[in-house]
């Protein structure tokens, strides 16, 4: 079933690239595996999936141990507690949810010298009505300039989790706003726009997503949120 879902998602992504004038194969799928057992990740791996996103450090480390034989790339996408930065810096290749200079400094300091720079996205809060974590649009530029100086991080782009909407135009709007703010940064090396989840894949791709983070539509409903 996971292989079938994966094939359907790839088709959906290719169709959206085509529909919104995006080059083919420019949008990647990140499998969001929080709460899913290691066997589900192994099934996705067997079907060709290589990139996995996790929200909880201890849960992720347990799965990394169980799945050590597979060549998986691990992305941390959840809220970051200060006391977890060391483990995140050691055990992930990517972090999508960097939303303060303090957290970024710790990740850079704690990234082992034996590993390549940690790939990060700046999480930006583009929802008006809810108070999810993320940098505000007004602080994005200053914080980016400072984080870009840190030696062991590579700022690849931005991540956003807008408030859920069912209307397509309303889904697109926050991503559009964020893209305009990113243009103003003149960060020529940004290549990653981590936009979109199971419910807004098309809107995210229409607005420039290069990574869609998919949990439910790949693995099915989660047992806990
Ligand atoms: C859980 C989660 C997802 C996946 O959400 P689905 O709606 O299940 O696809 C994506 N991004 C983040 C940051 C998440 O926490």
**Residue 125: inside a domain:** yes
- Asked if 177 and 162 count as a contact pair (C-beta separation under 8 A), the reply is no
CATH of the domain at 207: 3.20.20.10
Retrieve residue 51's tokens. 């990139």
Residue 110 CB less than 6 A away from ligand 1: no
Task: Name the one residue in this structure whose structure tokens are 């984080």.
Answer: 147
Q: Tell me how many domains the chain contains.
A: 1
Domain that residue 196 falls in = 2-219
Q: Does the pLDDT at position 46 exceed 60?
A: yes
Domain membership flag for residue 225? no
pLDDT of residue 131: 62
Q: What is the mean pLDDT of the chain?
A: 96
Measured in whole angstroms, how far is the alpha carbon of residue 18 from the centre of its chain? 22
Whether residue 41 lies inside any domain: the answer is yes
Within-domain flag for 224: no
Q: Does residue 213 have its Cβ closer than 6 Å to ligand 1?
A: yes
Give the pLDDT band of residue 225 (cuts 50, 70, 90).
low
Pocket of ligand 1 contains residue 35 by CB under 6 Å = no
Asked if residue 54 lies in contact with residue 78, where contact means CB atoms within 8 angstroms, the answer is yes
Cβ of 55 less than 6 Å from ligand 1: yes
Strand partners, 30: 213
pTM: 0.97
Q: How many CB atoms lie within 10 A of CB 156?
A: 24
5 lines ligand 1 (CB under 6 A): no
Q: Which among 5, 57, 59, 77 is the best mutation to test ligand 1's pocket, defined by most ligand atoms within 8 Å of the CB?
A: 77
Within-domain flag for 56 = yes
- Percent share of the chain, pLDDT over 70: 97
Confidence band of 129 (pLDDT split at 50, 70, 90): low
- In tens, the pLDDT along 144-190 reads 999 999 999 999 999 999 999 999 999 999 999 999 999 999 998 99
Taking residues 213-217, what's their average pLDDT? 98
């Amino acid at each position: 079933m996971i292989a079938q879902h994966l094939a359907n998602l790839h088709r959906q992504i290719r169709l959206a690239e085509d529909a919104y004038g995006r080059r083919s194969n420019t949008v990647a799928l990140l499998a969001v595996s929080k709460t899913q057992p290691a066997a589900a990740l192994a099934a996705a791996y067997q079907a060709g999936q290589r990139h996995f996103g996790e929200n909880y450090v201890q849960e992720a480390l347990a799965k990394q141990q169980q799945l050590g034989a597979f060549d998986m790339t691990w992305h941390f996408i959840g809220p970051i507690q200060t006391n977890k930065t060391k483990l995140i810096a050691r055990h992930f290749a990517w972090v999508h949810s960097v939303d303060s200079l303090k957290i970024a400094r710790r990740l850079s300091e704690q990234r082992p010298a034996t590993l390549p720079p940690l790939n990060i996205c700046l999480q930006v809060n583009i929802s008006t009505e809810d108070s999810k974590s993320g940098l505000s649009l007004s602080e994005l530029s200053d914080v980016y300039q400072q984080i870009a100086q840190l030696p062991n991080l590579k700022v690849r782009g931005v991540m956003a989790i807008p408030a859920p909407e069912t209307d397509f135009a309303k889904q697109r709007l926050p991503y559009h706003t964020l893209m305009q703010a990113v243009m103003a940064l003149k960060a020529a090396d940004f290549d990653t726009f981590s936009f979109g989840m199971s419910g807004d894949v098309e809107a995210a791709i229409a607005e420039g997503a290069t990574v869609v983070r998919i949990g439910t539509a790949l693995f099915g409903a989660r047992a806990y949120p």
